[in-house]
Amino acid sequence: MPHLDVLVVSALLIVMGALELLAGRLLNRRQPDELVVDALSLGQFALLIKPAVVASAGLLLLQLLPQAHNLLADMPLWQAVLLVVLPADLLHYGYHRLGHSVPFMWRMHRTHHTATAMSVSVAYRENWRWYLFMPDIWYAGFMVAMGLGEAVLISNLLFGCANVLVHSAFAWDRWLYRSRWLAPLAWVLERLVQLPSTHRAHHAELNAEGKPPHENFGQLLYLWDTLFGTARFTRDHYPTRYGIPKDPHDPWYAQLWWPLLRSKKPDSEYN
């Protein structure tokens, strides 16, 4: 099934979203237009931006290197999945880290962090340009053109499910930290993969030092944060406030489609 990743991730979003709604957490402490931003961002990503980028990347590669067509098609599936997942996840880590370091990139990524509570609906909340230039999506398009379509599907399934689960309103990793029998497993897992505890620390309004968080940039693998010194292990101490300090409260259309549509606030307030 060529769209298995979309179907599974969509089903997970629906199930987790329904559970959050029943538990009173989907709308908890959310601003009135936040769900509008979440829903429209997901729609434009899944239906427009991602398909367009993957197709464009594949066409570009084959125009520049026609011999690359299906070049890796005979690679064993497990090797192909590693070839897709590891570089793509590292590319995302670097891109995400720059998104918190370079002012014009933060202006693209900031929409994701204006959410005032954790929820699965936040998972795909981004300004359109953030997705347009995301290097791991372009890399996926290159890999499809080189014959690794099945491996890309599997990697997208892994990335999508992980993205939904770490943004969940439920701190489902809490049980790992509260059982002394599971402490060794928790120690290993939190250094290898992104968990709600580490990703919530990334979304906190302020970290333990009273500063905007600049840590925990991994998407699927937390290994990159561990290796490159951006890891902050908060264990079961979850933030009480989410969002960004001095949020300019851009209208929903400016959050989604800046700079095509702008807030009435001057640009100086965006930095």
* Residues 213-248 pLDDT 10s: 999 999 999 999 999 999 999 888 899 999 999 898
DSSP state of 211: S
Please list, in sequence order, all residues whose beta carbon lies within 8 angstroms of the beta carbon of residue 45, skipping any fewer than 6 positions away.
124, 126, 131
User: What is the chain's Cα-based Rg?
Assistant: 19
**Does position 1 have pLDDT exceeding 80, yes or no?**
no
**C-alpha dihedral sign at 49, 70, 154, 182:** negative
Q: Report residue 270's pLDDT band, with 50, 70 and 90 as the boundaries.
A: very low
**Does position 144 have pLDDT exceeding 70, yes or no?**
yes
- Percent pLDDT > 90 in the chain is 78
Residue 66: strand, helix, or coil: helix
| Cβ–Cβ < 8 Å for 113, 201 | no
Q: Which of 102, 142, 112 is nearest to 219 (CA)?
A: 112
Which amino acid is located at 135 in the chain? Answer: P
**Does position 118 have pLDDT exceeding 50, yes or no?**
yes
**CA of 124: how far to CAs of 62, 170, 185, 239, in Å?**
29, 17, 29, 21
Mean pLDDT of 159-179: 93
**CA of 140: how far to CAs of 55, 61, 144, 188, 242, in Å?**
10, 12, 6, 28, 31
What percent of the chain is helix, strand and coil (3-state, nearest 5)? 60, 0, 40
The larger pLDDT score, comparing residue 165 to residue 264, is at 165
Instruction: Read off the pTM.
Output: 0.93
Q: Which of 111, 115, 124 is nearest to 41 (CA)?
A: 124
Please list, in sequence order, all residues whose beta carbon lies within 8 angstroms of the beta carbon of residue 148, skipping any fewer than 6 positions away.
72, 73, 75, 80, 83, 84
